[in-house]
Structure 1
Amino acid sequence: MTITAPPNQFQNDSPREPKNKPKRVAFIGQPNTGKSTLFNKITKAGAGVANWPGLTVDLMRAELNLNDQVVEFVDLPGIYDLDGFTDDEKVVQTFLETNSVDLVVVVLNAVQVDRQIRIPLQLKALGLPIIVILNMADEAKRFNVGIDLVKLQKNLNVPTHAISAKYGTGCDKAYESILSSLETVDQSVTIDSVVEYFKEHPTQQAELDQVIEGSINMPAVNITTLTNRIDRWLLHPGFGLPIFFATMFLVFWFIWSIGIPTADPVDELTGWFQESLLEPALSPFPSIVQDFVVEGPFSGIATVFSFVPLVALFFVVMTALEDSGYLSRAAYLIDVLMEKCGLDGRAFVLQLMGFGCNVPAVMGTRVMRSRAMRLLSMLIIPFSLCSARLQVFVFILAVILPGPSGAMALFGLYIMSFVVAYLIATIFNFTGQFKNEEPFVVELPPYRIPTAKQVFFNVWNEMKSFMTKVMMFMILGTTITWFLTNFPEGSAEGIDSYAGQLGSFFAPVMNPIGISPFLTVSLIIGFVAKEVQLAALATVYGLSNDALQAQLAMDLTLAQGFSYLLFSLLYIPCLTTLGTIFGESKSIKFTVFSATLSLCVAWVISFSFYNIFNLIF
């Protein structure tokens, strides 16, 4: 069924005088509506994270100069209801109460427009100027969802557009409508109290029915689609989980096989830069300065750059899986097992999100209304093998298990992260310390083929954030490591250096798990940021990547190397993650408990593996 477009009756071409105060446009919508995709498309992926007064979270923000007027675009968290009480809904409520807005862009999923029309009606009732965007119009047509935009726009009495943010269809007209709507706005709006308003003026079902009547025609519920046919296999109670784990194994095999070779040309480039440009430029300076720059910050930065292609490849694969709709099904499949742990499928999805970075995964626990489940999820998320640790694992596995065995070991470590996390959750659930009674509801979107452009923008934003954080911590971490390994002056081969002394101090605890003093130092520095862990190791040894691998191949046994990886996987999360846990839990006691638990679990697992392995082999 075709979607009939209305006349552009809301256009207003009258020019407005520029103002000093930027106008503000807020994007609001339910999760998985493509709201952030449209936001990135309009802002050209130039948005950055911004901190807002009165809010405990950071939001995506971008400023554009449009028609001689600075306009600020803000992407708010996905919500299901303005009258809700989840943390994300509270964030949106607080934002509208503490920040004025000139226009709200409400993004709805056109396939589910009948269930999502409540939000624009609530925003209208609050007196906010809005424009409604029906995204995924291509899917609505494919699923025989009939939408008469002329009548829907008339019923809503606001500008309404059907688009596909994924393919760009209709986006130009929607963008022009946003500009036109901004031209007609006389003043910004701030809401006194969102919750109090809806207590006095609840949204009536009759109002919803009136808007939907005659403008939206939903297909029969039992219609057979390609998604239904695929789900018969991927959600099968017997085949679903094996297919999922096989898929994840292939993912990590692909990352291993393609990602490792990409480090060689980057190493050659950084090596050429050091020999041909950096060292000649530093030659007039004292030797201690040369040594500091080459073995300190530059060594760390070169190490990170060598793994940039690997990390980018990881984000490409995970973004494609997420955009395809498969990860939501993974949450559904695993929910039966998660229930035994006192969690649900959302916690599993957050664990998968933690593969990229633990920080947004911890922040993602806001979608859970049960504080007990939120805390339990925050407790186990740091066990996820994040992308920062990925480079460490690939490097060490290439030393102790070169070839295809390394890929299998990498997949095994990911499985181990899940097993340990959910074993810990099960123990706490059994003791009743994190009692949860919240039901699990997950929306399964239709399968989609991710576009190259969409994946590129997502990966670009992820890598920008990743590299910004890495560079900040890298300078700090490698500087500290260089100082520890080079002072006091005259220390022999690092044995008497501060690093050697620090490693020796912890030797009684680390020797039983096969971790040497120098490896211990890299773990200590890794607390600042896991990205620095490998660079710290290179600085401690004073060797480049290739030379370091050769040295470690002589120094490490298989048992020692794998014990080091297990400890790296499970021990205390990075400083940023701990700070996020504190920010989300609002409890220093819980944060300290989380860090202590991680350390204890890491030591026990590494001790068990190291001693059992040596006993058998």
Structure 2
Amino acid sequence: MKRIAVLGMPNTGKSTFFNRFTGATASVGNWAGMTVDLMMATLKIGEVTADVIDLPGIYDLRGFSEDEMVVQRFLESTPLHLIIIILNTVQIDRQLSLALQIKRLQIPAILLLNMADEAPKFGVKVNAEKIAQHLEMPVISMSAKYGNQYGKGYDAAIDAIAQTLHQQEHPICVRNISDCAIDDRQLATELDAILQDAVHISTQHSNTLTTRLDRFLLHPILGLPLFFAAMYLMFQVVYTLGTPLQAFLSFGLDWIKVAALEPVFTPFPSFLKGFLIGGLYDGIGTVVAFIPVILLFFFCMAIVEDSGYLARSAFLMDAFMERLGLDGRSFVMSLMGFGCNVPAIMGTRVMRSPGLRMLSMLVIPFSLCSARLNVFIFMTTALFTPQVAPGVLFSLYLFSFAAALVTALLFKGQFPNHDPLVLELPPYRFPTIKQIFVRAWVEVKHFLRWSNQFIIAGVVIIWLLNHLPMDVPPASKQTLSGMIGQAVQPLLQPLGINSQLAIALIFGFVAKEVVLGGLAVIYGASNDAGLGGAIAHQIDWVQAYSFMLFTLLYIPCLSTIAVLKRESKSAKFATLAVVWSIALAWITSFLFYQGARLLGF
């Protein structure tokens, strides 16, 4: 088994190449000796089988930021047969220094000049053969986005990788990168020589489309309203298209239950039948029914990110975020937390300031992740009209931003930051349909794999709590769940949250995916109507919104807490995040619920 590392600067299309190269079959795993999860895949390259590891994007090999130190530790502890370097052709004058650093490691390497299709638009011309002579490694111009649609660069890259692997019998490990004598003056001299000999950049050429769009979308007054309007439009699309698809999938799951499962399990004892159908199937099925909504959400987010607009949101928000002790990168990580808080928190490694990292990690868990999203879409569908529901959903996103801002204001003094923001805005791009679908599907698979670790256990426990002891009515006050609900009722009653909703919240601490599955089990045990109808019969919209606010803000899931502790290297910090989130959730829900009741709602 041979081993390949894929390495490059951020926003160079490294992940796009990795997904195309591996067929989007990569999995996330903890690499031996590392404290960070890395993307890796095993595939056949020619006659050779190889592990391919996608390393974090870095700017420098010498380890200034956490991500750069992760790459440094990986290279010093892992023997490699080949390094694939991915650079952006348009920014070759600023990125070749990384290839020169890797050259000094004396590990076989191939340089892929990605985004070569965009280079002519910016007046960039490169001579790959001359660069190869200077670097003493194969250099190939290509487009990971379009593959072989743009010349034959991608096929040439695969051939070069296969040939190099065939020739390299034994892996090489760098014991100490600092011994490789990476000298800044020498690097600058070599870089200048390559640029003079092999690269021509027109000073009069510019990308007129990007320039024209930025004049409008980065306008100092209109920029932010346009961004939030675009996000609201995205929620409208997700809700309008996702809800009918979700209803169709729910109908199919109900049909399977009635037509297939119930006849099969009829001879079973009633307790076991109820457990298998009313517990496992209904609980997990309720979560699965929201796959179309989650897929649409990630589809839209892939468009926003890959088009280059997400990076511009960091630019737009930087001045405002700076007043809170954060910067534009913190805003982007919060947006990425809409998918899942865990990778967003891990993404703060690119920040070199410890204070900025800690404060960013404290605010990211307030991002409305996809696990919370399916709960909110269900609740808004059950208790609000189709005309009002998208606005309600958008308001929850605004509340998540508000919670992050309040948190930053209160804690910025404890986590000072003096690290300036250095941000490179990519040109606007039109992502391919395949690229968007692959990205969205990978995220959905990650969501399902991550959630299934907890949903089954959570649903089983909740069902048992609702049916034990066996000699009392299911989901009644005499059951174990009823006792737990009554115990926490004094704390949650001022928020309008009843005992049934309280049980779901308690198990939501393990994973927010359990909240919806738990509600399906709890209300399914006490009501023959559909889940939405059962909940709408018991609570009004004020209680529902208070419940959603609490779900949005209270304890991050167990996985998020574990990552907070690991990334901060502080149990005290993780405890602070938990205690503060519970306090903020209670105060916010209390003010909303009591205020709404005072106003007569």
Q: Using the alignment, how far apart are the partners of 1:147 and 1:307 within structure 2?
A: 48
Alignment-mate amino acid for residue 363 of structure 2 = I
Equivalent residue, structure 1, for 2:584: 601
1:150 aligns to 2:136 (yes or no): no
Equivalent residue, structure 2, for 1:448: 429
Equivalent residue, structure 2, for 1:32: 11
8 Å CA contact 1:303, 1:545 repeated in 2:
no
Equivalent residue, structure 2, for 1:509: 491
Q: Which runs of structure 2 are paired with 1:196-345 in the superposition (5 Å)?
A: 196-198=179-181, 203-220=186-203, 223=206, 225-345=208-328
Equivalent residue, structure 2, for 1:8: none
Alignment-mate amino acid for residue 106 of structure 2 = G
Alignment-mate amino acid for residue 71 of structure 1 = A
Equivalent residue, structure 2, for 1:414: 397
The Cα of 1:546 is off from its aligned counterpart by 6.5
8 Å CA contact 2:112, 2:141 repeated in 1:
yes
Deviates most, 59-68 or 256-265: 59-68
Deviations 1:307-352 (A, max 9, x none): 0000000000001110000000000001111011100000000110
The Cα of 1:471 is off from its aligned counterpart by 2.0
8 Å CA contact 1:83, 1:198 repeated in 2:
no
The Cα of 1:194 is off from its aligned counterpart by 1.2
1:380 aligns to 2:363 (yes or no): yes
Q: Using the alignment, how far apart are the partners of 1:53 and 1:167 within structure 2?
A: 34
Q: Using the alignment, how far apart are the partners of 2:322 and 2:184 within structure 1?
A: 37
Q: Using the alignment, how far apart are the partners of 1:598 and 1:566 within structure 2?
A: 12
Matched residue of 2:388: which SS?
Answer: helix
Matched residue of 1:83: which SS?
Answer: coil
Q: Using the alignment, how far apart are the partners of 1:261 and 1:478 within structure 2?
A: 25
Equivalent residue, structure 2, for 1:134: 113
Q: Please point out which of 496, 514, 539 is paired with 2:521.
A: 539
Distance 1:114 1:368, change over 3 A: same
Matched residue of 1:132: which SS?
Answer: strand
Q: Using the alignment, how far apart are the partners of 1:229 and 1:199 within structure 2?
A: 41
8 Å CA contact 2:121, 2:205 repeated in 1:
no
1:528 aligns to 2:507 (yes or no): no
8 Å CA contact 2:546, 2:593 repeated in 1:
yes
8 Å CA contact 2:97, 2:187 repeated in 1:
no
The Cα of 1:506 is off from its aligned counterpart by 0.4
Deviates most, 49-58 or 514-523: 49-58
Matched residue of 2:44: which SS?
Answer: strand
1:106 aligns to 2:85 (yes or no): yes
Deviations 1:261-282 (A, max 9, x none): 1111111111111112212222
Q: Using the alignment, how far apart are the partners of 2:586 and 2:375 within structure 1?
A: 18
Deviations 1:365-408 (A, max 9, x none): 11111111111111111111101111100111112212111100
Distance 1:546 1:339, change over 3 A: farther
Alignment-mate amino acid for residue 283 of structure 1 = T
Q: Using the alignment, how far apart are the partners of 2:21 and 2:317 within structure 1?
A: 36
Deviates most, 391-400 or 197-206: 197-206
Deviates most, 52-61 or 515-524: 52-61
Deviates most, 280-289 or 264-273: 280-289
Equivalent residue, structure 1, for 2:66: 87
Q: Using the alignment, how far apart are the partners of 1:303 and 1:93 within structure 2?
A: 44
Deviations 1:246-275 (A, max 9, x none): 111111111111111111111111111111
Matched residue of 1:492: which SS?
Answer: coil
8 Å CA contact 1:62, 1:72 repeated in 2:
yes
Q: Using the alignment, how far apart are the partners of 1:575 and 1:83 within structure 2?
A: 34
Equivalent residue, structure 2, for 1:467: 448
Distance 1:201 1:218, change over 3 A: closer
The Cα of 1:198 is off from its aligned counterpart by 4.0
Matched residue of 1:54: which SS?
Answer: coil
Equivalent residue, structure 2, for 1:592: 575
Distance 1:114 1:545, change over 3 A: farther
8 Å CA contact 2:122, 2:207 repeated in 1:
no
Matched residue of 1:404: which SS?
Answer: coil
Equivalent residue, structure 1, for 2:75: 96
Deviations 1:207-259 (A, max 9, x none): 11112222111121774621011100111101101110111111111111111
Q: Please point out which of 474, 478, 484 is paired with 2:459.
A: 478
Q: Using the alignment, how far apart are the partners of 2:252 and 2:185 within structure 1?
A: 63
Matched residue of 1:204: which SS?
Answer: helix
Q: Using the alignment, how far apart are the partners of 1:464 and 1:546 within structure 2?
A: 31
Q: Please point out which of 53, 61, 64 is paired with 2:40.
A: 61
TM normalised by structure 1 equals 0.94
Q: Please point out which of 152, 155, 161 is paired with 2:140.
A: 161
Q: Using the alignment, how far apart are the partners of 1:191 and 1:223 within structure 2?
A: 41
The Cα of 1:65 is off from its aligned counterpart by 2.5
Matched residue of 2:11: which SS?
Answer: coil
Deviations 1:503-551 (A, max 9, x none): 1000110001100000000001111111110110111112699611111
Deviations 1:576-602 (A, max 9, x none): 111111111111111111011100000
8 Å CA contact 1:522, 1:536 repeated in 2:
yes
The Cα of 1:283 is off from its aligned counterpart by 2.3
Deviates most, 542-551 or 528-537: 542-551
8 Å CA contact 1:93, 1:194 repeated in 2:
yes
8 Å CA contact 2:363, 2:404 repeated in 1:
yes
The Cα of 1:566 is off from its aligned counterpart by 0.3
Deviates most, 170-179 or 218-227: 218-227
Q: Using the alignment, how far apart are the partners of 1:303 and 1:374 within structure 2?
A: 36
Alignment-mate amino acid for residue 148 of structure 1 = N
Q: Using the alignment, how far apart are the partners of 1:565 and 1:330 within structure 2?
A: 27
Alignment coverage as a number of residue pairs: 594
Distance 1:212 1:303, change over 3 A: same
8 Å CA contact 1:266, 1:306 repeated in 2:
yes
Matched residue of 2:130: which SS?
Answer: helix
Q: Using the alignment, how far apart are the partners of 1:196 and 1:402 within structure 2?
A: 66
8 Å CA contact 2:63, 2:72 repeated in 1:
no
Alignment-mate amino acid for residue 166 of structure 2 = E
TM normalised by structure 2 equals 0.97
Q: Using the alignment, how far apart are the partners of 2:111 and 2:186 within structure 1?
A: 18
8 Å CA contact 2:121, 2:207 repeated in 1:
no
Identical pairs, percent: 45
Equivalent residue, structure 2, for 1:397: 380
Deviations 1:7-54 (A, max 9, x none): xxxxxxxxxxxxxxx111110000000111111111101111121122
Q: Please point out which of 120, 144, 147 is paired with 2:99.
A: 120
Q: Using the alignment, how far apart are the partners of 1:223 and 1:27 within structure 2?
A: 30
